[in-house]
Protein backbone atom coordinates (compact mmCIF):
# COMPACT_ATOMS: atom_id res chain seq x y z
CA UNK A 1 0.00 0.00 0.00
CA UNK A 2 2.82 2.33 1.04
CA UNK A 3 4.74 1.51 -2.13
CA UNK A 4 1.70 2.31 -4.24
CA UNK A 5 1.20 5.68 -2.46
CA UNK A 6 4.87 6.54 -2.94
CA UNK A 7 4.63 5.65 -6.61
CA UNK A 8 1.54 7.81 -7.13
CA UNK A 9 3.20 10.70 -5.26
CA UNK A 10 6.29 10.45 -7.44
CA UNK A 11 4.13 10.28 -10.57
CA UNK A 12 2.19 13.40 -9.56
CA UNK A 13 5.43 15.23 -8.75
CA UNK A 14 7.00 14.23 -12.05
CA UNK A 15 3.91 15.33 -13.98
CA UNK A 16 3.87 18.70 -12.21
CA UNK A 17 7.58 19.20 -12.93
CA UNK A 18 7.12 18.23 -16.56
CA UNK A 19 4.26 20.68 -16.95
CA UNK A 20 6.25 23.41 -15.25
CA UNK A 21 9.21 22.83 -17.57
CA UNK A 22 7.21 22.52 -20.76
CA UNK A 23 5.11 25.69 -20.43
CA UNK A 24 6.74 28.25 -18.20
CA UNK A 25 7.24 30.94 -20.80
CA UNK A 26 3.74 30.94 -22.27
CA UNK A 27 2.41 32.83 -19.27
CA UNK A 28 5.15 35.52 -19.32
CA UNK A 29 4.31 38.70 -21.19
CA UNK A 30 6.56 41.63 -21.90
CA UNK A 31 4.51 44.78 -22.48
CA UNK A 32 6.10 47.53 -24.55
CA UNK A 33 4.60 51.03 -24.66
CA UNK A 34 3.77 52.55 -28.06
CA UNK A 35 2.76 56.15 -28.77
CA UNK A 36 1.56 57.15 -32.24
CA UNK A 37 -1.25 58.86 -34.11
CA UNK A 38 -3.92 56.32 -34.93
CA UNK A 39 -6.72 58.84 -35.49
CA UNK A 40 -6.83 62.40 -36.81
CA UNK A 41 -5.19 63.93 -39.90
CA UNK A 42 -1.93 62.00 -39.36
CA UNK A 43 -3.52 58.60 -38.87
CA UNK A 44 -2.28 57.49 -42.32
CA UNK A 45 1.48 57.83 -41.60
CA UNK A 46 0.75 56.59 -38.07
CA UNK A 47 -0.55 53.37 -39.58
CA UNK A 48 2.81 52.69 -41.26
CA UNK A 49 4.60 53.26 -37.97
CA UNK A 50 2.30 50.84 -36.15
CA UNK A 51 2.61 48.29 -38.95
CA UNK A 52 6.36 48.18 -38.29
CA UNK A 53 5.91 47.61 -34.54
CA UNK A 54 3.22 44.99 -35.07
CA UNK A 55 5.25 43.08 -37.63
CA UNK A 56 8.28 43.01 -35.31
CA UNK A 57 6.21 41.80 -32.34
CA UNK A 58 4.46 39.19 -34.45
CA UNK A 59 7.71 37.82 -35.85
CA UNK A 60 9.31 37.63 -32.39
CA UNK A 61 6.25 35.88 -30.95
CA UNK A 62 6.07 33.47 -33.89
CA UNK A 63 9.58 32.32 -32.97
CA UNK A 64 8.43 31.61 -29.41
CA UNK A 65 9.12 35.04 -27.94
CA UNK A 66 12.19 36.84 -26.66
CA UNK A 67 14.55 35.20 -24.18
CA UNK A 68 15.74 37.57 -21.46
CA UNK A 69 17.56 36.54 -18.28
CA UNK A 70 16.67 32.85 -18.63
CA UNK A 71 12.98 33.47 -19.24
CA UNK A 72 11.04 33.67 -22.49
CA UNK A 73 8.52 36.43 -23.01
CA UNK A 74 5.75 37.02 -25.50
CA UNK A 75 5.82 40.62 -26.69
CA UNK A 76 2.66 42.65 -26.25
CA UNK A 77 2.19 46.23 -27.42
CA UNK A 78 0.32 48.75 -25.31
CA UNK A 79 -0.67 51.36 -27.88
CA UNK A 80 -1.81 54.89 -27.06
CA UNK A 81 -3.18 57.29 -29.64
CA UNK A 82 -1.56 60.69 -29.21
CA UNK A 83 -3.14 62.09 -32.43
CA UNK A 84 -0.12 64.32 -32.89
CA UNK A 85 -1.18 66.39 -29.91
CA UNK A 86 1.44 67.34 -27.30
CA UNK A 87 -0.97 67.17 -24.35
CA UNK A 88 -2.24 63.75 -25.40
CA UNK A 89 1.37 62.58 -25.86
CA UNK A 90 2.44 63.76 -22.41
CA UNK A 91 -0.61 62.14 -20.84
CA UNK A 92 0.01 58.82 -22.63
CA UNK A 93 3.67 58.84 -21.60
CA UNK A 94 2.73 59.52 -17.98
CA UNK A 95 0.26 56.66 -18.05
CA UNK A 96 2.73 54.24 -19.61
CA UNK A 97 5.30 55.13 -16.95
CA UNK A 98 3.12 55.19 -13.86
CA UNK A 99 0.11 52.94 -14.56
CA UNK A 100 1.25 50.44 -17.19
CA UNK A 101 4.82 50.49 -15.84
CA UNK A 102 6.38 49.47 -19.15
CA UNK A 103 10.18 49.11 -19.34
CA UNK A 104 10.50 51.04 -22.62
CA UNK A 105 8.34 53.25 -24.87
CA UNK A 106 8.65 53.50 -28.64
CA UNK A 107 7.12 55.53 -31.40
CA UNK A 108 5.76 58.97 -31.79
CA UNK A 109 5.05 60.52 -35.13
CA UNK A 110 5.41 64.23 -34.47
CA UNK A 111 8.44 66.07 -33.13
CA UNK A 112 6.36 68.52 -31.09
CA UNK A 113 4.71 65.62 -29.27
CA UNK A 114 8.03 63.83 -28.79
CA UNK A 115 9.36 67.05 -27.21
CA UNK A 116 6.53 66.88 -24.66
CA UNK A 117 7.11 63.19 -23.97
CA UNK A 118 10.89 63.35 -23.61
CA UNK A 119 10.99 65.18 -20.21
CA UNK A 120 8.56 62.60 -18.78
CA UNK A 121 10.85 59.83 -20.01
CA UNK A 122 13.69 61.54 -18.17
CA UNK A 123 11.66 62.07 -14.97
CA UNK A 124 10.60 58.42 -14.82
CA UNK A 125 13.98 57.16 -16.08
CA UNK A 126 12.06 55.37 -18.82
CA UNK A 127 13.82 54.86 -22.19
CA UNK A 128 11.92 56.45 -25.08
CA UNK A 129 12.94 55.33 -28.57
CA UNK A 130 11.72 57.58 -31.38
CA UNK A 131 11.27 56.01 -34.80
CA UNK A 132 9.83 58.78 -37.00
CA UNK A 133 10.09 62.42 -35.73
CA UNK A 134 12.74 64.41 -37.57
CA UNK A 135 13.07 67.62 -35.53
CA UNK A 136 16.88 67.97 -35.10
CA UNK A 137 16.71 69.58 -31.66
CA UNK A 138 15.05 66.57 -30.05
CA UNK A 139 18.31 64.69 -29.58
CA UNK A 140 20.27 67.79 -28.64
CA UNK A 141 18.60 68.30 -25.26
CA UNK A 142 20.98 66.12 -23.27
CA UNK A 143 18.23 63.68 -22.26
CA UNK A 144 19.97 60.34 -21.53
CA UNK A 145 16.68 58.42 -21.80
CA UNK A 146 15.86 59.61 -25.30
CA UNK A 147 17.01 57.67 -28.38
CA UNK A 148 16.19 58.11 -32.05
CA UNK A 149 16.53 55.33 -34.61
CA UNK A 150 15.74 57.46 -37.67
CA UNK A 151 17.81 60.28 -39.16
CA UNK A 152 16.77 63.81 -38.23
CA UNK A 153 16.01 66.48 -40.83
CA UNK A 154 19.58 67.78 -41.07
CA UNK A 155 20.93 64.28 -41.77
CA UNK A 156 18.16 63.54 -44.26
CA UNK A 157 18.75 66.78 -46.14
CA UNK A 158 22.54 66.59 -46.24
CA UNK A 159 22.75 64.45 -49.36
CA UNK A 160 19.83 66.25 -50.97
CA UNK A 161 21.51 69.64 -50.49
CA UNK A 162 24.65 68.39 -52.22
CA UNK A 163 22.55 66.97 -55.06
CA UNK A 164 20.65 70.26 -55.57
CA UNK A 165 23.92 72.19 -55.56
CA UNK A 166 25.44 69.77 -58.10
CA UNK A 167 22.48 70.31 -60.44
CA UNK A 168 22.46 74.07 -59.93
CA UNK A 169 18.70 74.23 -59.29
CA UNK A 170 18.60 77.91 -58.43
CA UNK A 171 16.45 79.75 -57.47
CA UNK A 172 14.74 77.08 -55.43
CA UNK A 173 11.31 77.12 -53.79
CA UNK A 174 9.64 75.21 -50.97
CA UNK A 175 6.11 74.13 -50.11
CA UNK A 176 6.20 72.71 -46.60
CA UNK A 177 3.97 71.61 -43.77
CA UNK A 178 3.49 74.34 -41.22
CA UNK A 179 4.85 72.17 -38.43
CA UNK A 180 8.17 71.06 -37.03
CA UNK A 181 8.74 68.59 -39.87
CA UNK A 182 8.10 71.16 -42.62
CA UNK A 183 9.74 74.16 -41.00
CA UNK A 184 12.63 72.03 -39.71
CA UNK A 185 13.11 70.66 -43.23
CA UNK A 186 13.21 74.12 -44.83
CA UNK A 187 15.62 75.38 -42.19
CA UNK A 188 18.01 72.44 -42.34
CA UNK A 189 18.00 72.09 -46.12
CA UNK A 190 18.43 75.85 -46.60
CA UNK A 191 21.33 75.90 -44.13
CA UNK A 192 23.15 73.16 -46.04
CA UNK A 193 22.75 74.69 -49.50
CA UNK A 194 25.64 76.74 -50.91
CA UNK A 195 25.15 80.51 -51.24
CA UNK A 196 24.78 80.37 -55.02
CA UNK A 197 21.48 78.47 -54.61
CA UNK A 198 19.00 81.29 -54.02
CA UNK A 199 15.65 80.89 -52.35
CA UNK A 200 12.79 82.20 -54.51
CA UNK A 201 9.82 81.27 -52.36
CA UNK A 202 8.88 79.43 -49.19
CA UNK A 203 5.22 78.64 -48.50
CA UNK A 204 3.78 76.75 -45.56
CA UNK A 205 0.42 75.03 -45.31
CA UNK A 206 -1.43 73.55 -42.36
CA UNK A 207 -2.14 69.82 -42.02
CA UNK A 208 -5.49 69.21 -43.73
CA UNK A 209 -5.13 72.02 -46.30
CA UNK A 210 -5.46 70.71 -49.83
CA UNK A 211 -5.43 73.80 -52.04
CA UNK A 212 -1.91 74.66 -53.22
CA UNK A 213 -2.91 77.21 -55.86
CA UNK A 214 -1.50 80.19 -53.94
CA UNK A 215 1.89 78.54 -53.68
CA UNK A 216 1.85 77.64 -57.36
CA UNK A 217 1.07 81.24 -58.37
CA UNK A 218 3.96 82.49 -56.25
CA UNK A 219 6.42 79.88 -57.53
CA UNK A 220 5.50 80.71 -61.13
CA UNK A 221 5.80 84.46 -60.47
CA UNK A 222 9.22 84.04 -58.80
CA UNK A 223 10.48 81.84 -61.68
CA UNK A 224 11.83 79.08 -59.44
CA UNK A 225 13.72 76.20 -61.13
CA UNK A 226 12.77 73.55 -58.58
CA UNK A 227 10.29 73.03 -55.79
CA UNK A 228 10.99 71.05 -52.63
CA UNK A 229 7.85 69.41 -51.26
CA UNK A 230 8.34 68.82 -47.54
CA UNK A 231 5.24 66.87 -46.70
CA UNK A 232 3.70 63.41 -46.64
CA UNK A 233 2.61 61.37 -49.69
CA UNK A 234 -1.03 62.48 -49.52
CA UNK A 235 -0.52 66.26 -49.77
CA UNK A 236 2.57 65.61 -51.89
CA UNK A 237 0.58 63.87 -54.62
CA UNK A 238 -2.02 66.59 -54.47
CA UNK A 239 0.54 69.37 -54.75
CA UNK A 240 2.18 67.70 -57.76
CA UNK A 241 -1.18 67.17 -59.44
CA UNK A 242 -2.00 70.85 -59.03
CA UNK A 243 1.49 71.97 -60.11
CA UNK A 244 1.25 69.99 -63.33
CA UNK A 245 -2.42 70.97 -63.94
CA UNK A 246 -1.41 74.61 -63.68
CA UNK A 247 1.16 74.00 -66.43
CA UNK A 248 4.15 74.64 -64.19
CA UNK A 249 7.08 72.70 -65.60
CA UNK A 250 9.49 72.62 -62.69
CA UNK A 251 11.91 70.12 -61.13
CA UNK A 252 10.15 68.25 -58.32
CA UNK A 253 12.04 67.33 -55.15
CA UNK A 254 10.33 65.25 -52.47
CA UNK A 255 10.72 63.43 -49.20
CA UNK A 256 10.97 59.75 -48.31
CA UNK A 257 7.16 59.54 -48.41
CA UNK A 258 7.27 60.11 -52.16
CA UNK A 259 9.48 57.22 -53.16
CA UNK A 260 6.92 54.43 -53.07
CA UNK A 261 4.51 52.65 -55.42
CA UNK A 262 1.66 53.95 -53.25
CA UNK A 263 2.72 57.42 -54.32
CA UNK A 264 2.94 56.42 -57.97
CA UNK A 265 -0.58 54.99 -57.75
CA UNK A 266 -1.87 58.40 -56.67
CA UNK A 267 -0.36 60.02 -59.77
CA UNK A 268 1.10 58.46 -62.91
CA UNK A 269 4.57 57.68 -64.19
CA UNK A 270 4.59 60.53 -66.71
CA UNK A 271 3.78 63.14 -64.06
CA UNK A 272 6.55 62.17 -61.67
CA UNK A 273 9.28 61.06 -64.11
CA UNK A 274 12.52 62.80 -63.12
CA UNK A 275 11.35 63.68 -59.61
CA UNK A 276 14.02 63.12 -56.96
CA UNK A 277 13.60 62.51 -53.25
CA UNK A 278 15.58 61.49 -50.23
CA UNK A 279 14.78 58.09 -48.82
CA UNK A 280 15.64 56.24 -45.64
CA UNK A 281 14.38 52.99 -47.07
CA UNK A 282 14.26 52.35 -50.83
CA UNK A 283 11.93 49.31 -50.75
CA UNK A 284 13.16 47.80 -54.04
CA UNK A 285 16.88 48.18 -53.31
CA UNK A 286 18.97 45.13 -54.17
CA UNK A 287 20.16 44.73 -50.57
CA UNK A 288 19.30 41.49 -48.77
CA UNK A 289 18.05 43.03 -45.51
CA UNK A 290 15.81 45.46 -47.41
CA UNK A 291 14.56 42.81 -49.84
CA UNK A 292 13.65 40.42 -47.02
CA UNK A 293 11.82 43.04 -45.03
CA UNK A 294 9.98 44.31 -48.10
CA UNK A 295 8.82 40.78 -48.92
CA UNK A 296 7.63 40.06 -45.37
CA UNK A 297 5.86 43.42 -45.11
CA UNK A 298 4.19 43.02 -48.47
CA UNK A 299 3.01 39.52 -47.53
CA UNK A 300 1.44 40.71 -44.30
CA UNK A 301 -0.03 44.05 -45.35
CA UNK A 302 -0.49 43.55 -49.08
CA UNK A 303 1.33 46.75 -50.03
CA UNK A 304 4.86 48.01 -50.57
CA UNK A 305 6.94 48.51 -47.42
CA UNK A 306 7.14 52.01 -45.97
CA UNK A 307 10.20 53.69 -44.44
CA UNK A 308 8.32 54.49 -41.20
CA UNK A 309 7.50 50.79 -40.82
CA UNK A 310 11.13 49.76 -41.37
CA UNK A 311 12.36 52.34 -38.82
CA UNK A 312 9.77 51.23 -36.28
CA UNK A 313 10.52 47.55 -36.88
CA UNK A 314 14.18 48.22 -36.13
CA UNK A 315 13.24 50.34 -33.10
CA UNK A 316 11.38 47.48 -31.43
CA UNK A 317 14.10 44.96 -32.30
CA UNK A 318 16.71 47.27 -30.77
CA UNK A 319 14.66 47.64 -27.57
CA UNK A 320 14.41 43.84 -27.28
CA UNK A 321 18.11 43.43 -28.03
CA UNK A 322 18.96 45.91 -25.25
CA UNK A 323 16.81 43.97 -22.78
CA UNK A 324 18.39 40.73 -23.89
CA UNK A 325 21.90 42.15 -23.51
CA UNK A 326 21.07 43.60 -20.11
CA UNK A 327 19.32 40.42 -18.94
CA UNK A 328 16.37 42.41 -17.60
CA UNK A 329 12.87 43.45 -18.58
CA UNK A 330 12.33 45.63 -15.53
CA UNK A 331 15.53 47.56 -14.79
CA UNK A 332 15.01 50.64 -16.97
CA UNK A 333 18.39 52.19 -16.15
CA UNK A 334 20.12 49.01 -17.22
CA UNK A 335 18.10 48.92 -20.45
CA UNK A 336 19.09 52.54 -21.12
CA UNK A 337 22.78 51.67 -20.63
CA UNK A 338 22.46 48.79 -23.08
CA UNK A 339 20.71 51.00 -25.61
CA UNK A 340 23.49 53.57 -25.37
CA UNK A 341 26.09 50.99 -26.40
CA UNK A 342 24.02 48.95 -28.83
CA UNK A 343 25.54 47.95 -32.16
CA UNK A 344 22.76 46.50 -34.24
CA UNK A 345 22.36 45.78 -37.92
CA UNK A 346 18.69 46.03 -38.78
CA UNK A 347 16.54 46.56 -41.81
CA UNK A 348 17.75 50.16 -42.11
CA UNK A 349 21.41 49.23 -41.84
CA UNK A 350 23.87 49.66 -38.99
CA UNK A 351 22.38 51.40 -35.97
CA UNK A 352 24.51 52.86 -33.21
CA UNK A 353 23.55 55.80 -31.04
CA UNK A 354 25.88 58.76 -30.56
CA UNK A 355 26.28 60.42 -27.16
CA UNK A 356 22.99 62.26 -27.73
CA UNK A 357 21.06 59.07 -28.49
CA UNK A 358 20.93 59.82 -32.23
CA UNK A 359 21.47 57.08 -34.82
CA UNK A 360 22.67 57.78 -38.35
CA UNK A 361 21.29 55.11 -40.67
CA UNK A 362 22.03 55.46 -44.41
CA UNK A 363 20.10 58.08 -46.41
CA UNK A 364 19.55 57.56 -50.15
CA UNK A 365 18.60 59.84 -53.04
CA UNK A 366 16.25 58.18 -55.48
CA UNK A 367 14.78 59.32 -58.79
CA UNK A 368 11.59 58.28 -60.57
CA UNK A 369 12.32 56.71 -63.94
CA UNK A 370 10.09 57.13 -67.01
CA UNK A 371 8.84 53.52 -66.67
CA UNK A 372 7.43 54.14 -63.19
CA UNK A 373 10.28 52.47 -61.28
CA UNK A 374 12.96 54.15 -59.17
CA UNK A 375 16.75 54.29 -59.28
CA UNK A 376 19.25 55.16 -56.55
CA UNK A 377 21.47 58.17 -57.30
CA UNK A 378 23.34 58.46 -54.01
CA UNK A 379 25.27 57.50 -51.92
CA UNK A 380 27.91 56.30 -54.35
CA UNK A 381 28.16 52.77 -52.93
CA UNK A 382 24.43 52.22 -53.31
CA UNK A 383 23.90 53.62 -56.83
CA UNK A 384 21.49 51.37 -58.75
CA UNK A 385 19.49 51.56 -61.96
CA UNK A 386 15.78 51.77 -62.64
CA UNK A 387 13.78 49.12 -60.78
CA UNK A 388 16.28 48.95 -57.91
CA UNK A 389 15.23 51.91 -55.81
Nearer to another protein, 41 or 144 (CB): 41
Q: What is the distance between the alpha carbons of residues 306 and 309, in angstroms, rounded to a whole number?
A: 5
Contact 94, 117 (CB under 8 A): no
Q: What is the distance between the alpha carbons of residues 27 and 14, in angstroms, rounded to a whole number?
A: 20
Which ranges of the chain does DSSP label H, i.e. alpha helix? 2-22, 43-62, 86-98, 111-123, 153-167, 180-192, 213-221, 233-245, 261-266, 269-272, 288-301, 307-326, 332-340
Give me the least distance between CB of 112 and another protein, in Å please: 16
Give me the least distance between CB of 120 and another protein, in Å please: 27
| CA pseudo-torsion sign 282, 298, 47, 258 | positive
What angle in degrees, to the nearest 10, is found between the helix axes of 153-167 and 180-192?
A: 50
The residues that touch another protein, with contacts defined as CB under 8 A, are 39-41, 43-44, 46-47, 178, 202-206, 208-211, 213-215, 217-218, 220-221, 234, 237-238, 241, 245-247, 266
Q: Is 317 exposed, middle or buried (0-12, 13-18, 19+ CB in 10 A)?
A: buried
Nearer to another protein, 196 or 249 (CB): 249
**Largest Cα span, the chain:** 104
Nearer to another protein, 48 or 73 (CB): 48
Q: What is the distance between the alpha carbons of residues 323 and 315, in angstroms, rounded to a whole number?
A: 13
Nearer to another protein, 163 or 204 (CB): 204
Nearer to another protein, 213 or 292 (CB): 213
Give me the least distance between CB of 275 and another protein, in Å please: 18
Strands 374-378 and 364-368: antiparallel
Nearer to another protein, 217 or 328 (CB): 217
Q: What is the distance between the alpha carbons of residues 100 and 106, in angstroms, rounded to a whole number?
A: 14
The region, left, alpha or beta by phi > 0 then psi within -120 to 50, assigned to residue 37 is: beta
Give me the least distance between CB of 177 and another protein, in Å please: 11
Nearer to another protein, 125 or 300 (CB): 300
Give me the least distance between CB of 299 and another protein, in Å please: 20
Give me the least distance between CB of 260 and another protein, in Å please: 13
Nearer to another protein, 182 or 315 (CB): 182
| 205 strand-pairing partners | 177
Give me the least distance between CB of 175 and another protein, in Å please: 9
Give me the least distance between CB of 204 and another protein, in Å please: 4
Amino acid sequence: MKTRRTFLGLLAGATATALAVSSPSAAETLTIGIVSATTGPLAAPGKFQLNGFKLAAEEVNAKGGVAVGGKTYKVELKIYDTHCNAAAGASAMQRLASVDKVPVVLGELCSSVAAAEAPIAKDFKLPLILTVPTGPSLTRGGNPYLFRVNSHAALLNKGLAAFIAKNGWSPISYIAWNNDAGRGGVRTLGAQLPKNIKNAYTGYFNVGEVDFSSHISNIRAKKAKAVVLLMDEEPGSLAIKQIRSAGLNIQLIGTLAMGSNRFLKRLDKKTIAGMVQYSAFPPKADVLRIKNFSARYEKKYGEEAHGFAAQSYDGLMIALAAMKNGGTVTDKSRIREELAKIDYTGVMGKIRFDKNGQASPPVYITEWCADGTRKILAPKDAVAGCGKG
